[in-house]
Amino acid sequence: MIELAFAKDTNGLLPAVVQDYRTGEVLMLAYINQLAWEKTLETGKAHYWSRSRNSLWLKGETSGHVQLIKEILVDCDQDTVLYKVEQLGGAACHTGYRSCFYRKVTGDALTVHEQERVFDPTAVYGAK
């Protein structure tokens, strides 16, 4: 097992950057703990630790938009990982955009730069 520097964080969490393995687009950032790391390596599907729910999170468990691991890179300090994934369903963001980074800084404001939503969040997750 490859050891990561989980001990550096008081909550035992490290950031995972998620990139589309074909286009190189950064899709999202989430956090992993030791358990999420092991589950990801075991299953080949991206697992994270949900800070809001305080529980293991298989990305796509509700939406079906699972991330299949194609490659994992580890940084110099072993405190950040990079998952190169195939994003099933075509969109990583719960808002329906392909990437969570669908807005860019334009002067003093944020503007949406993605073309369109891939899915309707209400249809996928239900009305909130």
Residue ranges in contact with its own copies by CB under 8 A: 1-2, 15, 17, 19, 23-26, 28-29, 41, 71-77, 80, 82, 93-95, 97, 100-105, 108-110, 113
Provide, rounded to whole angstroms, the least separation between the CB of residue 108 and its own copies: 7
Q: What share of the chain is helix, strand, coil (3-state, %, to 5)?
A: 15, 35, 50
CA–CA separation, 111 and 21 (whole Å) = 26
Q: What are phi and psi of 40, to 5 degrees?
A: -65, -45
Q: In terms of CB distance, is 23 or 43 closer to its own copies?
A: 23
CB of 25 to its own copies, least distance (A): 7
For the beta carbon of residue 76, count every other beta carbon within 10 angstroms. 6
In the complex, the smallest distance separating the C-beta of residue 8 from its own copies, rounded to whole angstroms, is 9
